[in-house]
Structure 1
Amino acid sequence: MQIFKTLKPVALTVFMLLALVLRGEEAKAQTQETLTVAGGCFWCVESDFESVPGVIEAISGYTGGTTKNPTYGEVGKGSTGHLEAVQIIFDPTQVSRQHLLELFIRSVDPTDAGGQFCDRGEVYSTAIFVSNTQEKALAEQVLAQAQADLTQQVVTPILPAKTFYRAEDYHQDYYKGSKLIFTRFGPKRQAAAYKRYRQACGRDARVAELWGAAAPFASKH
């Protein structure tokens, strides 16, 4: 009997600790939302959005197509239907979905249906992925405002969300990587190679030309 008397408070303590952990996980889930967008090279989109206060993480990957577990090589060939995309995980108490959408559309060229900047083809086209009617309405509002601001036709589509496949590990945080790689500019660390690529691709120059002072990230590179 003494053993059972000892076990009861121990079991109660374990139960209480478990309840606290579960409550913490539930609270964490309630303060995290996801926005998935395609904006050309996923390294660049990831780099831009990981600098935004309230963004917890930005993950490079593939979505929009039908091929399961696609590789970078397969997506690049254009046979999977997937786009290079980024999943933005954010805290809605710190930054709104609308604000993130406004930042996104002003960080790309939404008038270009053939790709983005030096990266051409459907794989690099822009898109906003939505999961419900509320998200769709918000995206429509942001795109309509962008078109009014530019006085040009915005061709970025709003697409139903599909399975998001995380890209290979070497693509994650590429913009700040330290691994030595060989590029057309010679051997460079990933971070330096990324900066050279971004500049050579003309991304920030075009965004600044298109959006002017409203371009949120162009002046940071």
Structure 2
Amino acid sequence: MFTTRYAIRPLKFIWIALIAAIARLDKSFSPSHTFRRVRKHEFTLSDYVYIVFHVALSIFWLYLMENPSYPKKLLIPFLHILGVMVPFTSQFFVPATPVFAWLTTFYTSRFIPESWRPSVFVVLLPTLENVLYGGNISDSLRQYTHPILDVLAWLPYGVIHLMLPFVMALVLWLFRPKQALHQWARLFGWMNLLGVFVQIILPCAPPWYEMSYGVMPAS
């Protein structure tokens, strides 16, 4: 009985938090409510910069996107605009705008013409390893192989880092004010978007590339 009581208590706590989180949701599906909020909002310079940046970025990637092709790809901005207009979905879509920008950039960057792409830096990351850590860590790690080590490397890279953002978002939605979740979504989106920009502007071969192929140009 004692064990059962303590096992049920966390579930009850989560259930209460879930009910409260659902109660905080805007359940309206009327776009007129969104238009009313927009008219009441006092736009600042940062708001205009934010909007112009995302609109320009979306147009740029939509222009480069080859799959889906035109006119099917026009469905993407249509659905996004619809999601922003409906209050029930806008409470998720608006804060997640940087996340959508990151996903769009990550996916569409594959369609960047070869003539636009900078050369891949082969020796930059190995050099940074030597400067920062005093040696070639990748070479040292490659000398020790074992299935258990593979699993330990796969868990954080292949599972945890993909699931953790969703777990964190769920925890914030349940146990924190909605502003905390909105801030998390924005920061998470901007961080990943910046990472993709760095990969596009400064493409680098992984450190093991130099050990396998030397300084041969990578593509």
Query: 1 or 2, which has the higher helix percentage?
Result: 2
TM-score (ref. length: structure 1): 0.24
Q: Which has the higher strand share?
A: 1
Question: Structure 2-normalised TM-score?
Answer: 0.24
